[in-house]
Structure 1
């Protein structure tokens, strides 16, 4: 056997081993309960309280309920007091856990000293940084964004600054106790540079890199810090799309994503979303960024949003007539 033949055999074996390991690692994602098990008392062992930002609806609401069902008291935050009060009542009635309501607007500056004062005495084991804003449901180019200067500030305040500030407030307590979980909600669109959602996608890239860097810094302190990057979830941000195999309800997604808590510093939260991320990263950028594709995406979202608005309007009209 000559040297060249030996080189190619060795190279082939290395490629087989490399992709074999990747396949094994991916196969773990199919069976999270087996590969990443959590004990019944896992969450309550972290602390008595969980804090969830953007908790009034959607994914945040689902996390608040899920953590309460696991035995934690919850602090729920958003800017809508009526909705938060209603949610608090539901959680108390359903789970028997305590709920603390904090009304705040994360799009504004200088709201964090008051938040810190209100949660200072709590034994916080879990933080879910869920609050976020999408500049527009309808995708558009950066310069076509309505009220662009204001939008830049509010997106950075809401999607970037809030996450970092909440970590600053809560992480010291976790470090001193040597335990805790921080879940920072990113987005599947951060998997690649994403035209038409440029500002939003870029803000979610920050969420991922910040989370991964923070996990490297504090992993040896017994703290889990993970970026959670969903694709389709039926929320107001996605115009409440019909649920299916790809588009999950908030409750389905949260239940699934919590099973991947020990799966590393980033997860897409469900098998179908993991596959979607792989497909998105595999498609050539020239294809994804073609004008025809971008215009088709814009038109699709417009039609979906218009249809949803029409259904809501029809339902409201029917309810008004019925109640007369």
Structure 2
């Protein structure tokens, strides 16, 4: 008797992945399963699953990210299928080769402050504070969204020496692209605003709860798009703060190697992808700053005076927990 692929991952496999990743996998896999149910088709072998995944993508016009997530979810839920979904993997690989790369417009420090206050006005104060912190240290979006308060050691919590900097551990649960433990520091001298907001986030977040609570990567992208449209800014992405960090550091005179080390880029080429856009994309960022120059100056001046910066502009109240839909809870 042929046993159909289970599509139910082991709990330990889910535990090592970020919750937002699991939610995205579940959502995209549900799209595929609903399509199968609508057309009255089923699968009992990896080869049938492979065919149906491609058929679903073609007939339902699933996006590349949806297709990739559904494929990854299928392999996660049924590890015996891994390495046997060859057609779907080939389609995804060809798609990545032929797709036009959209380079990320860098978000310089001044623009990050404007975006942060725009997010705060929309009630996304935690995400706004996260944007400033991400831009200051060049974090990847996934690293920012997975930060827990216990990953942060504030200066006053350190019992070794008299360090004026906070230490942030990255990828504690989910790992990092470098496949090793990483840490960055935020000091009062170099990034006073980032340290101030980081302290506020840590002190207002219970242990075990992400500091940028209830925000997934697609939601981060959506919030940025809305703020950019309202302010008449070029389309920024969750990687724009990281690109802005690299751009700011190189323009300030820092050497390439030290910027790569601090931003934990995997290779020279991965960092150059950001820096090669400085001349063109940087012009777009400069034009964006020019449109709101007076407002940015006022916000920057206000933010430098940390004693007068109240937490009101950044509402850090945690959102109410949302229940997972019953249909989604049955999958994975």
What band does the TM-score fall into relative to the shorter chain?
under 0.3
Higher strand proportion (structure 1 or 2): 1
TM-score (normalised: structure 1): 0.25
Q: Which has the higher contact order (CA 8 A, sep 6+)?
A: 2
